[in-house]
Amino acid sequence: MKKRSPVGIILLMVITLGIYLIVWYVETEKEMNNLGAKIVTPWLLIVPFVNLYWVWSWCAGISFVTKKFSPIGSFLLAIFLGPIAFAIFQNQFNKIASHSHVPVPTPAS
């Protein structure tokens, strides 16, 4: 998971009138899938009402990756708290990113 500023996410969502939310969703979806989550294609985000299924799938990915939230809890947070929930989720992603440091091999001299 990539470290991002939770406050920066909220500000970018406001400044871009929500467009950054889509970018953030897609980027975090890729990162969670790389960790083993099974989130459906982000193309479903653009289909009205079907996008709620995609958000549910994404929230199930949060549950899988963080081991902290249930899918239903994540979904309710995302729907009712919006940007505040996304900042909470990003905070959890940042914790995962700081615990998953993989040493970078140095080139042999």
Is the residue at 102 inside a domain? no
Domain annotation covers residue 95: no
Amino acid at the residue 59:
C
67 three-state secondary structure: coil
**Domain-located, residue 22:** yes
| The total number of structural domains that make up the chain | 1
| Residue 76 domain-assigned (yes or no) | yes
Q: Looking at the domain assignment, is residue 25 inside a domain?
A: yes
Is there a domain that residue 66 lies in?
Answer: yes
Between the CA of residue 17 and those of 5, 54, 80, what are the distances in Å? 18, 21, 18
- Supply the pLDDT for residue 109: 46
φ, ψ of residue 106 to 5 degrees: the values are: -95, 145
Residue 30, domain extent: 6-87
Q: What are the residue ranges in the chain where pLDDT is below 70?
A: 100-109
Written as six digits, the tokens of 89 are 């989720």
